[in-house]
């Protein structure tokens, strides 16, 4: 990652009101959400156009958890290993097309367990002190980020790495999670984006949870770190990774494209400090080149390290990334250590009065 930008507070509003610092994998709701949306969009595209004569396979390395769109389909896919069939001729900017960007790489930062409790305590205190206006009925949480990802692309019998290059992602969510809108060229069929409103076309209602949170759901959660962590571990059961790693990932997703109340936001970091294997990476870079300190954990299964990146002085959440740290074998061997499989940077977070309204249009 060699992109650099001038210093900017990602949680700064156009109206001068500061929301909680940080975010996104998808709808995830961060990293998981990003990959889930791309997966669903590619499946929908293939259903519309049929199977190609010489298809290109894009293999996702993490299976996203069910989120708010297409819940019936997503639930059916949970726990499976997926090879997504993308139609040839795409430009990597949507339409389920094949991404053509180069693999994203970085220098693997040294990790240490020294100072983990102290850092998370500082982050927790900063989160508790942040200004955090409530979301009113009829309003929407707006999050704008920059994201990119790297994946294995197989054409015939040849597998290489490709990426969706850095691009803007915008998402709007109602407090109860039943209404929303997404604009992301790596996911959507067109530039106008698509609705995330529920119930979906199959009539599935919104069922908020830790893996698919709404603002209203998060506002009711306990802020006791021990009780919160117990809930997170329970929700992590059955998702494939070790419980420790899945709990860490769940908290990371809650730092993404959701809006936890200030007390809960602070409690999440206290809970994270209790997860075995959490480390500090003294120098990590978000998707737009901002350097910070990362709270991280190595996924023992995939060999990837998930990093939550914070401003070194203010402890504002800047973004997150996943970096391949260990060598892997078999089909995944093309993913060399130092490959950035996902990266994001939060650029704006605000409360607005309508879907597709941005902070600059408010007032």
Is 22 within the bounds of a domain? no
Do 344 and 110 meet the contact criterion of CB atoms below 8 Å apart?
no
Q: Indicate if the pLDDT at residue 327 is higher than 90.
A: yes
Rounded CA-CA distance 162/99 in Å is 6
Q: What is the pLDDT of residues 95-110, one digit of tens each?
A: 444 466 889 999 999 9
Long-range contacts of 120-123 (CB under 8 A, 24+ apart): 120/269, 120/270, 120/272, 120/273, 120/278, 120/295, 121/269, 121/270, 121/273, 122/315, 123/269, 123/295, 123/310, 123/315
Do 160 and 151 meet the contact criterion of CB atoms below 8 Å apart?
no
Range of the domain at 140: 31-361
Q: Give the confidence band of 38 by pLDDT, cuts at 50, 70, 90.
A: very low
CA 48 → CA 55, 78, 97, 187, distances in Å? 15, 23, 13, 15
Is 262 within the bounds of a domain? yes
* Region of poorest pLDDT, from 47-61, 73-87, 111-125, 177-191: 73-87
Q: What percent of the chain has pLDDT over 70?
A: 71
Q: Indicate if the pLDDT at residue 47 is higher than 80.
A: no
CA 343 → CA 48, 101, 145, 322, distances in Å? 30, 14, 10, 7
| 80 burial via Cβ count (<10 Å: 0-12, 13-18, 19+) | exposed
With a CB cutoff of 8 Å and minimum separation 6, the contacts of 6 are: none
Is 15 within the bounds of a domain? no
CA 331 → CA 59, 240, 327, 328, distances in Å? 10, 19, 12, 9
- Going through the chain in order, the beta strands assigned E by DSSP cover 56-59, 83-86, 111-112, 140-155, 158-173, 180-183, 194-195, 279-285, 291-298, 304-310, 317-324, 340-352
What pLDDT score does 152 carry? 87
Is 56 within the bounds of a domain? yes
Do 266 and 125 meet the contact criterion of CB atoms below 8 Å apart?
yes
Q: What percent of the chain has pLDDT over 90?
A: 55
- Tell me the average pLDDT across 339-354: 96
Is 8 within the bounds of a domain? no
Alpha carbon of residue 156 to chain centroid: 30
Is 51 within the bounds of a domain? yes
- Tell me the average pLDDT across 187-196: 89
- Going by C-alpha positions, the residue among 301, 307, 202 that lies closest to residue 249 is 307
Do 75 and 40 meet the contact criterion of CB atoms below 8 Å apart?
no
Please count the other Cβ atoms lying within 10 Å of the Cβ belonging to residue 38: 26
What pLDDT score does 96 carry? 43
Domain count, the chain: 1
Is 49 within the bounds of a domain? yes
* Region of poorest pLDDT, from 42-56, 78-92, 163-177: 78-92
């Amino acid at each position: 990652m060699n992109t650099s930008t001038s210093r900017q507070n990602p949680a700064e509003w156009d109206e001068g009101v500061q929301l909680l610092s940080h975010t996104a994998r998808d709808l995830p709701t961060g990293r998981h959400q990003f990959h889930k949306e791309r997966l669903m969009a590619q499946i929908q595209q293939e259903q519309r156009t049929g199977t190609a004569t010489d298809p290109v396979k894009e293999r996702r390395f993490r299976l996203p958890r069910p989120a708010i769109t297409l819940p019936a389909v997503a639930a059916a896919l949970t726990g499976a290993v997926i090879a997504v069939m993308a139609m040839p001729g795409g430009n990597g900017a949507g339409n389920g097309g094949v991404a053509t960007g180069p693999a994203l790489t970085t220098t693997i930062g040294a990790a240490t367990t020294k100072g983990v409790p102290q850092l998370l305590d500082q982050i927790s205190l900063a989160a508790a002190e942040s200004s955090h206006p409530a979301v009113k009925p009829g309003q929407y949480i707006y999050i704008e980020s920059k994201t990119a990802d790297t994946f294995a692309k197989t054409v015939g019998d040849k597998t290489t790495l490709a990426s969706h290059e850095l691009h803007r992602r915008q998402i709007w969510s109602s407090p109860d999670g039943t209404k929303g809108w997404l604009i992301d060229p790596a996911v959507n069929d067109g530039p106008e984006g698509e609705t995330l409103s529920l119930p979906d076309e199959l009539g599935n209602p919104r069922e908020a949870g830790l893996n698919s949170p709404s603002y209203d759901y998060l506002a009711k959660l306990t802020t006791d770190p021990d009780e919160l962590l117990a809930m997170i571990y329970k929700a992590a059961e059955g998702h494939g990774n070790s419980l420790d790693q899945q709990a860490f990932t769940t908290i990371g997703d809650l730092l993404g494209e959701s809006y936890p109340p200030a007390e809960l936001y602070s409690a999440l970091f206290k809970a994270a400090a209790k997860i075995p294997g959490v480390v500090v990476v003294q120098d990590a870079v978000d998707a737009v080149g901002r350097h910070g300190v990362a709270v991280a954990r190595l996924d023992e299964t995939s060999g990837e390290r998930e990093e939550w990146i914070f401003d070194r002085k203010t402890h504002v959440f800047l973004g997150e990334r996943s970096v391949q740290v260990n060598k892997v074998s078999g089909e995944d061997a093309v993913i060399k250590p130092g490959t950035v499989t996902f990266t994001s940077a939060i650029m704006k977070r605000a409360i607005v009065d309508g879907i597709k309204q941005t902070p600059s249009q408010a007032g």
